[in-house]
Amino acid sequence: MSSLCLQSPNGKSKVLNPPFYLAGTVEKGDGRGAKLGFPTLNIKTGNLYIPYGVYVVLAKIEEQVLKGIAHVGIIETFDINKPRVEVHLLDFKGDLYNQRVEINILKLLRQVHKFKTPQDLIVQMQEDEKIARNFLKNL
């Protein structure tokens, strides 16, 4: 394991804090996010050295800088145990497959949870969005 990787096996870390940076390519996800009302860019990255969590981010795509909220980690609610980076852009609609994206992770909103129902996750993501918008308007 690299010395940069200060994660414990469950992905939680009290050592590292934002800001973090990562870059990758947008690949096809499972399409579940759109059904939940929160479509996401699935970012294919190399090794992940960022603690699992839900974050406020800025995403740079071509020359555009877009605001977003990101999930880094396993998707416990749907029993997906392979870590992922997913970004929901706040004011963007469109197809970005295969584009390179640079992500600046600005602020930790919360830890990743396993929700009892998809509806509970939706309610939490709506709350995440509210807090993120409030944080981003002051930038």
* Residue 60 and residue 79 in contact, taking contact as beta carbons nearer than 8 Å: no
Hey, what are 31's tokens? Answer: 């399409």
**Please, which of residues 6-25 interact with ligand FMN by CB under 6 A?**
none
Rounded Cα distance between 83 and 85, Å, is 7
- Please tell me whether the peptide bond between 51 and the residue prior to it is cis, using omega within 30 degrees of 0: no
In eight-state DSSP terms, residue 73 is: E
Q: Does 78 bind ligand FMN (CB under 6 A)?
A: yes
Q: Does 112 bind ligand FMN (CB under 6 A)?
A: yes
Q: Does 97 bind ligand FMN (CB under 6 A)?
A: no
Hey, what are 96's tokens? Answer: 């970005």
Nearer to ligand FMN among residue 44 and residue 113 (C-beta): 113
What is the nearest approach in angstroms of ligand FMN to the Cβ of residue 122?
10
Q: Does 32 bind ligand FMN (CB under 6 A)?
A: yes
In eight-state DSSP terms, residue 18 is: S
Using CB under 6 A, count the residues that bind ligand FMN: 22
In eight-state DSSP terms, residue 63 is: T
Q: Does 31 bind ligand FMN (CB under 6 A)?
A: yes
- Kindly list the residues in this chain that would bind ligand FMN in the complex (CB under 6 A): 29-33, 38, 40, 42, 54, 69, 71, 75-78, 86, 88, 112-113, 121, 125, 128
